[in-house]
Amino acid sequence: MRDKMASQNTNTELVIIGGSAGSLQVILDMLRRLRPKLGFPIILVLHRKAQTPGVLPLLLEQLSPMKVAELEDKTDLLPDVLYIAPADYHLLFEDKTLVSLDGSEKVHYSRPSIDVCFQSAAEAFGKGLVGVLLSGANADGVEGLKDIRRSGGTAWVQDPLTAEVDYMPRLAIDNGAYDKIFNPTELAELINSL
């Protein structure tokens, strides 16, 4: 684990994990070691096809120690729930407890966009936010991580050497958009320690 800054976020209110190609296995491995009572929600923002049936929530539910729910428009966020951003909608934060869905143009060919979600969450949560960027094949998430850091939040990036598709995490690191570079085997422990 390489740290750019020594600071550790101790007042976490939300963790958002963004990923694309090659990120699902990292998430499945993380869930096996995650504590059920964290005191904050986790949101997954994954690039997936709009036509994909709802098998992802069922798969995650089998492994997650936390309750799993797919986000709907005007969902109130609750602690100790693993939320999944629905396919084909951007996820926006009206405040720290309420999210809304948006069907506007794709960003980086993606909807939901990791950037859009990170940027909106950074405005709502500031230093209470941890953004995590995993494996992926485009630039989505990099600008959002910069916004998280500018707002006082914490940005973690998967070590590109461990990523199935290293473009997204490598671009984040090349742009200085991180506080910590982690190995996937460390992710659950890092989240459990928040």
Q: Which residues carry out catalysis?
A: 20, 47, 140
The whole-angstrom separation of Cα 127 and Cα 40 is: 14
* Contact residues for 85 (Cβ-Cβ < 8 A; gap 6+): 43, 44, 45, 46, 71, 91, 112, 117
Q: What is the DSSP letter of 15?
A: E
Phi, psi of 124 (to 5 degrees): -80, -40
Cβ atoms of 118 and 148 within 8 Å: the answer is yes
Question: For residue 101, which of 130, 80, 75 has the smallest C-alpha distance?
Answer: 75
